[in-house]
Amino acid sequence: MSYIRGMNEIQPTEGKIAHLDYTTELNTFEEALIRALTNYGLPTENVLVTVSERGRVFLNATVVMSLLEAEKRARSIYISKFIAASASGLFDAALNYLWDETVRELRDRVVRYDINYFYDVAIDSQEKRRKLNTEEDIDKISDAELIKGAKDISLIGDLGYRHLDHIKYMRNWASAAHPNHNEITGLQLITMLETCIKEVINLPISHIAIEIKQLLANIRRNSYSAGEINSTGAFLENANQTQINNLAQGLYGIYTSRDKNSQITQNINLLAPHVWRLIDDDTKRKLGVKLATSVANGDNVVAESGRAFFNIVSGLSYVPEGILSSEITTVLQNLYNSHHNLNNFYNEPPFARQLSHIVGQANNIPKSVETTYVMTIVDSFLTNGNGIAFDADHIYKKLIEQFDETQAIKAMMSYRNSAIGSKLQFSLAKEKFKELIGIIKPKLTTSVSQDFANTLLSGSTPLDRLNQDSQIIRSAATLIKIVES
């Protein structure tokens, strides 16, 4: 379906979207709006983006909108509002509407995929996870949790996540929430629309994601023999490490749910040992912490099922002793969530202080939570890209200064984490990452780690492209062996 005639007389017609000249209509519309503002005695300067910038949106909108099928366009209400706000010269509001459309589509995708699998993978806090059970509960998920969780279950790719993270940043700091619309150009706005269409709305679900969805559905409704389970899970040999790790979390979530039946239990009893052999040690420790937290919280039903799971996979050695791991994990989850949501400058410091109090001067971090501990501190220290939480920043520096050598190497290589790597596209985060390297560098005792730190500081490879540099990848592989040895 396409559109012809002027802005005030748009009529649908069969065929492709027509190229139109909106300049006259945009100028006429602005003149009328300015007259209205003047009549009300309101400011007219620096309120609207210039007509020339709006024209760039409409000049390119025809091509971008043609990427959407007519059926999808017909139900994209927030894109209609995006176009209307762009025409009005309110780019900050337009960006809000674009984000609303993207979030709506992502939520719909998650619901159509497997809502409980998403909750099991995306939500680390067991307290919060217990409150998420239905499709309606998806509204309780923050935008940061939504896009990261969608990436983790392969509904969007790493590149799409990176682009959406940038759009989320712009939405938070250059949208109607803050009067900074002049920072957004027409080309930037239309490029962000194209990104959301390509990376979310039009993106087909990957083959592996479809296979995982089918596997989870079959586990819930069919009875399998050992041979059938092995055949059903054969596709995992072609899945990447992240997909396998997340499947294991999903299986654990199903296995420890209160509404599972004996058929589901038997199916996972057969499949779990095979998946367990394929997942990495960090994921095994993460699942062990979930069991330890259930025990510490007195959640006996979940704890009993969790113990049975670890017995089946012969993984009890990954279950930490005591409650320190669960205490640290809870604070890390709270810190992560406060950092990635609005008002983080106010909400972060209490959790940073609580974490520092638990850890103390000894830096006695259980192995089971070490990677999560390092990544959460680094993530928070790098800021949200817009400003520093000053009441928490000195606490992060203190905790980083207490890192041992292994933790320091993990921090130096934290760019390999998708969320942290994406954050390095922002200038402030880049500065803080270099500051981080400067703090941990004295702890690096090998020439390999020292040379790697110097390479990162040299700027020979932009920090947001480290994962694309073949030499960096080879050097990182050597450091991984050092950390894991």
- The alpha carbon of residue 34 and the mean position of all alpha carbons in its chain are separated, in whole angstroms, by 41
Hey, is 4 helix, strand or coil?
strand
- C-alpha distance from residue 52 to each of 17, 159, 185 (Å): 22, 31, 10
The per-residue pLDDT for 12 is 43
The contacts of residue 30 (CB under 8 Å, 6+ apart) are 48, 51, 89
- φ/ψ of residue 13, rounded to 5: -145, 150
Q: Which of 143, 144, 148 is nearest to 121 (CA)?
A: 148
Instruction: Write down the domain spans for the chain.
Output: 2-201, 207-318, 324-484
Contact 201, 245 (CB under 8 A): no
The token pair that represents 400 in the structure block = 């980083």
pLDDT in tens, 153-196: 999 988 899 999 988 888 877 654 444 444 789 999 999 999 99
Q: What angle do CA 158, 161, 165 make, to 5 degrees?
A: 145
Least confident residue range of 63-67, 275-279, 319-323, 333-337: 319-323
pLDDT in tens, 345-364: 899 999 999 999 888 766 77
Least confident residue range of 10-24, 287-301, 388-402: 10-24
The per-residue pLDDT for 362 is 63
Please report where in the chains the tokens 């309606």 appear, as a residue.
Answer: 136
Least confident residue range of 75-89, 169-183, 302-316, 373-387: 169-183
The contacts of residue 443 (CB under 8 Å, 6+ apart) are 403, 404, 405, 408
pLDDT in tens, 315-328: 988 988 767 888 88
In the DSSP assignment, the letter for residue 315 is -
Q: Which amino acid is at 441?
A: K
Q: Which amino acid is at 404?
A: D
The contacts of residue 410 (CB under 8 Å, 6+ apart) are 370, 371, 374, 375, 483
Mean pLDDT, the chain, integer = 88
